[in-house]
C-alpha cells in the first residue's frame, strides 16, 4: 500500500481552522479490471462511498464511458452532493481508480482509504487531503 501514513484531519482541526471545506484525492493502482469496467459496479461504488461519508446525494450520478486511447478509456463520474461534489475516473487498461471528494461538511477521510482500496482490490495508492479555508489559504498535506 502506502509507505507513509496520510494526514487525516480531525473534526476538531477542521473546526479550529475555520475551514470552508475538506478536499481529498486518492489514486488506487493495480485494481480489479472487471470492477473498473462494469458500470453497475461503479454506480454501486458511488452510492456506497457517499453513504459511508455521510453526504447527501443530489440527483443521480452522471456516468460516461469514453476514451478511444486505452490510456484513458474508462468511466468518468460526477455525483453532486448537497455539500459539493464526488468525482472519479476509472481507467480500465492501466487499472487505476482516481477519486476526488470535496465537501463543505466534515467527513473522516480515513473512510476513503478504508473503503476504496478493498472495493477495487487495489495494490497501492497515493492519497492527499487538504483544508480549504475561508481566508483563501489552501492547506495541502503530504502525499502518502
CATH number at residue 69: 3.60.90.10
Residue 76: domain span: 11-140
pLDDT band at 143 (very low <50, low <70, confident <90, very high): very low
List residues bridging with 103 in a β-sheet. Answer: 22, 84
Q: For the segment 36-95, what is each residue's pLDDT rounded down to a tens digit?
A: 999 999 999 999 999 999 999 999 999 999 999 988 999 999 999 999 999 999 999 999
- Give Cα separations from 89 to 4, 10, 86, 99, 112 (angstroms): 24, 27, 11, 7, 15
Q: At CA 116, angle to CA 111 and CA 118, rounded to 5?
A: 110
Residue 5 to residue 100: CA distance in whole angstroms: 19
Domain count, the chain: 1
pTM for the whole thing?
0.89
Amino acid at each position: 500500500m502506502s509507505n507513509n501514513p496520510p494526514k487525516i484531519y480531525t473534526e476538531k482541526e477542521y473546526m479550529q481552522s475555520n475551514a470552508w471545506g475538506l478536499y481529498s484525492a486518492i489514486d488506487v493502482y493495480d485494481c480489479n479490471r472487471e470492477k473498473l469496467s462494469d458500470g453497475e459496479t461503479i454506480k454501486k461504488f458511488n452510492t456506497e462511498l457517499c453513504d459511508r461519508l455521510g453526504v447527501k446525494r443530489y440527483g443521480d450520478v452522471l456516468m460516461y464511458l469514453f476514451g478511444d486511447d486505452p490510456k484513458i478509456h474508462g468511466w468518468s463520474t460526477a455525483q453532486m452532493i448537497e455539500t459539493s461534489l464526488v468525482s472519479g475516473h476509472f481507467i480500465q487498461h492501466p487499472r487505476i481508480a482516481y477519486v476526488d471528494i470535496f465537501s463543505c461538511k466534515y467527513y473522516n477521510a480515513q473512510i476513503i482509504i478504508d473503503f476504496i482500496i478493498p472495493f477495487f482490490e487495489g495494490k497501492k495508492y497515493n492519497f492527499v487531503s487538504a483544508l480549504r479555508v475561508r481566508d483563501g489559504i489552501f492547506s495541502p498535506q503530504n502525499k502518502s
